[in-house]
């Protein structure tokens, strides 16, 4: 990869208004915030089932980095196909891919950044790993475990609770910051700042 190779930030979620506020859609929320920071709106991509924004991140007046933001417009469990199509279209390797997703085994609002690893039962990651292998960056947004005997699928497909929504904007903002830091500062520095 050359220094001019863009990065792809893929926020995972399910398309459509019925899913917009779900815990499973936090990746879309972060992608939307990053797009608004770039002053751009998502548009349908001609070669992939995804909405994209192309832009730059970095401090104005300094060297900035080319970034493609993506929201796969396929359901979570088949999101690997659209992400792979975008990587191929832009000539980006998986080592320049950042995936933003919800994570059950981390407390609500807690962030963990890492490179590679398993899918931990997450259907979006399963789909990505099937087509790309394990070696891509992950920004994991903690949503916590379901209460009582609630099924995992029911929990992640529910909206954040009213108590969670009070802090959601702050946590989404912090996650967007973490994505930018990962690309600009590198994984170790981003982990030391944002992993909690």
Residues forming the active site: 24
Phi, psi of 184 (to 5 degrees): -80, -45
Nearest one of 113, 90, 72, 78 to 196, comparing CA atoms: 113
Helix, strand, coil distribution of the chain in percent, nearest 5: 40, 20, 35
Distance separating alpha carbons of residues 168 and 29, to the nearest angstrom: 10
Residue 190: CB partners within 8 Å, gap ≥ 6? 113, 178, 181, 182
Dihedral, 80, 81, 87, 90 alpha carbons, nearest 10: -150
Tokens of 129: 């790993």
Long-range contacts of 116-123 (CB under 8 A, 24+ apart): 121/152, 123/76, 123/77
């Amino acid at each position: 990869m050359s220094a001019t190779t863009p990065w792809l930030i893929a926020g995972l979620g399910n398309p459509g208004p019925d899913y917009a506020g779900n815990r499973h859609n936090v990746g879309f929320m972060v992608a939307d915030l990053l797009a608004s920071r770039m002053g751009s709106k998502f548009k349908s991509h001609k070669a992939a089932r995804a909405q994209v924004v192309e832009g730059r991140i970095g401090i104005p007046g300094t060297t900035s980095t080319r970034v493609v933001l993506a929201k796969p417009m396929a359901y979570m469990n088949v999101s690997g196909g659209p992400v792979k199509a975008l990587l191929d279209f832009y000539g980006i390797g998986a080592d320049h891919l950042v995936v933003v997703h919800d994570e059950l085994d981390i407390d609500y609002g807690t962030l963990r950044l890492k490179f590679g690893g398993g899918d931990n039962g997450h259907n979006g990651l399963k789909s990505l790993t099937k087509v790309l292998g394990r070696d891509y960056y992950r920004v994991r947004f903690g949503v916590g475990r379901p209460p009582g005997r609630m099924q995992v699928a029911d929990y992640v497909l529910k909206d954040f609770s009213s108590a969670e929504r009070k802090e959601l904007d702050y946590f989404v903002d912090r996650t967007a910051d973490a994505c930018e830091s990962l690309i600009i500062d590198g994984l170790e520095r981003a982990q030391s700042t944002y992993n909690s």
